[in-house]
Chains A and B, each alone.
Chain A
């Protein structure tokens, strides 16, 4: 087993990206993710890579678009208000079918909000975010180890499906330190004949573009993109199932709140309540199947999240409203406590729907 090192979540993302062959980082400072930029600023010049602090988040994501168009692994990172600014560029990246990694270390909103952790960009991340019909693959780390592992995985997914992938973290995991086993060094293995490398007078010119004035053609590109999305929904769902074998209540939670929920579930089990956890690791594609299967066994779901109930809607859709879905939340930078989650489990166990 490889040696473990003690790292901040944000730094683990940066180091994992470098080990995944990413040599281009374009960003703009915003709390609580600035350690990623700081790490890249230090490391990239030493490994013949590019760190560039752009004049804005808008510019940074468009620089990402430029690098992505050349086929090289590239990333940017930001936090909620900055991610809003990047949405135009993300839509272009999705519409032009080029791979890139976007990291959102979420903070409370709306507006300037706060700098404490949040999960309230769930809708923005999973439902499109920018204009037009498109998706991102959205990965949600719940530990510093997963910050590293999912970053590494994200680059492979982006290349495989030629699309932007988002790592949807939060300020807690970004800022906390844990031992982490860093991923192996690797590079992209996917052929990219579409990339802008210069024709070298050897081929017709490549065009990276999202404009189709021919409506039938634009419709066709949308249908084709969603065929790809269907494959992703079939093949790339990731989730963790915890104490679900005999569960009568199913907690659904991702990221830091999933860890809080586990503590509450262990305590509830000690009190004799049969409760388990489904932790989505991909929130798009959402783990619909395990939740639908659970719907036949449990009497209720509890969505534990740091938003006003955004993932809750996906749980309702996934379980086809067969069972009630309760909300246990804190917002504005507050994190639910194990006691709060336990109290909710006890309340739902009592049958008060």
Chain B
């Protein structure tokens, strides 16, 4: 019988520690699938963040390093500059990338550092138990915004993809989601392209993945996927925000 679906080889055969209904598992799979498809497991080095995905170093079978909170793009820069023939990616959440690590993110993008960033945006700090993130929506109830995020005192969510797309540096910025089959398929294409860009020496590629956190959103897994359509995507529209190579082709 023909196997039409199997676990990617570059994903370790371990039980993931993520909560039921969390979409980190899907995103891990998509990253590993891209690594498999491109045949780069043996030359890839991944950088794990601080946050829910901190133990991603156990799950990917390529060489891995665990960075300090927010510093993954700097660590990735060191890894890539040490041996540009290796493929280097970071896997970071919204607190890690868009709060404490914003400077590292922006400057790696500005340098067009030839790395791939998988940015998982679920609008909350998951690992520490559901605090307000830089991407939490206006009015969103979290442990540290118990009356709903008040934009008068806490400001507004940061649209990372839109912001980075204003820079001349980066090659490719796209926002995707993983809350239904169609979106997962698009996400797979985008993630693969982000790795291909690096292999082809094109430079900085960041894929923002809108992800569900049913536990800290206080929703069932099904409701959380719906919340992405109803609340997240209207604020964070999906699409390609920058694709330098495509722009050149058009011109």
Residues of A whose CB lies within 8 Å of any CB of B are 24, 26, 50, 52, 54-56, 58-60, 62-70, 72, 74, 88-89, 92, 96, 196-202, 205-211
Closest to B9 in A: A201
From residue B96, how far is it (CB to closest CB) to chain A in Å? Answer: 13
A196-B79 contact in complex given A62-B67, A65-B67, A66-B65, C-beta closer than 8 Å: yes
From residue B137, how far is it (CB to closest CB) to chain A in Å? Answer: 29
Flag whether B163 is at the interface (Cβ < 8 A).
Answer: no
B65 A59 Cβ-Cβ under 8 A: no
B64 A66 Cβ-Cβ under 8 A: no
Most chain-A Cβ atoms within 10 A of its Cβ — which of B47, B58, B63? B63
Closest to B87 in A: A198
In angstroms, Cα B40 to Cα A201, docked, is 9
In angstroms, Cα B83 to Cα A24, docked, is 11
Flag whether B107 is at the interface (Cβ < 8 A).
Answer: yes
Closest to B85 in A: A198
Closest to B61 in A: A205
B54 contacts which chain A residues (CB < 8 A)? 211
A207-B64 contact in complex given A55-B107, A201-B41, A202-B42, C-beta closer than 8 Å: yes
**Contact pick for B79, options A70, A199, A200, A201, CB 8 Å:** A70
29 example contacts (A-B, Cβ-Cβ < 8 A) are as follows A24-B81, A55-B106, A55-B107, A58-B104, A59-B103, A62-B67, A62-B74, A62-B78, A63-B77, A66-B74, A66-B82, A69-B78, A69-B79, A70-B82, A74-B78, A88-B68, A196-B63, A196-B64, A196-B65, A198-B45, A199-B62, A200-B42, A205-B63, A205-B64, A207-B66, A208-B65, A209-B57, A209-B65, A211-B55
From residue B238, how far is it (CB to closest CB) to chain A in Å? Answer: 29
A67 B66 Cβ-Cβ under 8 A: no
**Additional pairs, 12, CB under 8 Å, beyond known A205-B64, A206-B64:** A54-B107, A55-B107, A59-B104, A65-B71, A66-B78, A66-B80, A198-B83, A198-B86, A205-B62, A206-B63, A209-B57, A211-B66
A89 contacts which chain B residues (CB < 8 A)? 68, 71
From residue A67, how far is it (CB to closest CB) to chain B in Å? Answer: 4
A50 B81 Cβ-Cβ under 8 A: yes
A211 contacts which chain B residues (CB < 8 A)? 54-55, 66
A66-B83 contact in complex given A92-B68, A199-B63, C-beta closer than 8 Å: no
From residue A31, how far is it (CB to closest CB) to chain B in Å? Answer: 22
Closest to A63 in B: B78
A72-B82 contact in complex given A62-B75, A209-B57, C-beta closer than 8 Å: yes
A64-B78 contact in complex given A198-B62, A207-B65, C-beta closer than 8 Å: yes
Flag whether B60 is at the interface (Cβ < 8 A).
Answer: yes
Determine chain B's interface SS by DSSP, over half rule: helix
Closest to A201 in B: B42
A65 contacts which chain B residues (CB < 8 A)? 65, 67, 71, 74-75, 78
From residue A4, how far is it (CB to closest CB) to chain B in Å? Answer: 34
A26 contacts which chain B residues (CB < 8 A)? 78
From residue B5, how far is it (CB to closest CB) to chain A in Å? Answer: 23
From residue B4, how far is it (CB to closest CB) to chain A in Å? Answer: 25
B103 A205 Cβ-Cβ under 8 A: no
From residue B61, how far is it (CB to closest CB) to chain A in Å? Answer: 5
From residue A40, how far is it (CB to closest CB) to chain B in Å? Answer: 13
B79 contacts which chain A residues (CB < 8 A)? 66-67, 69-70, 196
In angstroms, Cα B106 to Cα A64, docked, is 19
In angstroms, Cα B41 to Cα A63, docked, is 23
**Contact pick for B74, options A59, A68, A197, CB 8 Å:** A59
B74 contacts which chain A residues (CB < 8 A)? 54, 58-60, 62-63, 65-66
Closest to A91 in B: B68
Flag whether B43 is at the interface (Cβ < 8 A).
Answer: yes
B183 contacts which chain A residues (CB < 8 A)? none
Closest to A208 in B: B65
**Contact pick for A198, options B63, B66, B107, CB 8 Å:** B63
B41 A199 Cβ-Cβ under 8 A: yes
A197 contacts which chain B residues (CB < 8 A)? 63, 83, 86
Flag whether B44 is at the interface (Cβ < 8 A).
Answer: yes
A67 B82 Cβ-Cβ under 8 A: yes
B75 A196 Cβ-Cβ under 8 A: no
Closest to A68 in B: B78
**Contact pick for A199, options B42, B58, B76, CB 8 Å:** B42
A208 B66 Cβ-Cβ under 8 A: yes
A210 contacts which chain B residues (CB < 8 A)? 66
Chain B, residues 148-163, CB within 8 Å of chain A (1/0): the string is 0000000000000000
B58 contacts which chain A residues (CB < 8 A)? 207
Closest to A60 in B: B74
Chain B, residues 1-20, CB within 8 Å of chain A (1/0): the string is 00000000000000000000
B83 contacts which chain A residues (CB < 8 A)? 70, 197-198
B86 A205 Cβ-Cβ under 8 A: no
B77 contacts which chain A residues (CB < 8 A)? 52, 59, 63, 66
A59 B107 Cβ-Cβ under 8 A: yes
From residue A9, how far is it (CB to closest CB) to chain B in Å? Answer: 26
Chain B, residues 80-121, CB within 8 Å of chain A (1/0): the string is 111100100000000000000001101100000000000000
- Chain B contacts with A in 162-206, Cβ cutoff 8 A: none
In angstroms, Cα B58 to Cα A208, docked, is 11
Most chain-A Cβ atoms within 10 A of its Cβ — which of B47, B54, B65, B68? B65
In angstroms, Cα B83 to Cα A63, docked, is 13
Closest to B107 in A: A55
A68 contacts which chain B residues (CB < 8 A)? 78
B47 contacts which chain A residues (CB < 8 A)? 66
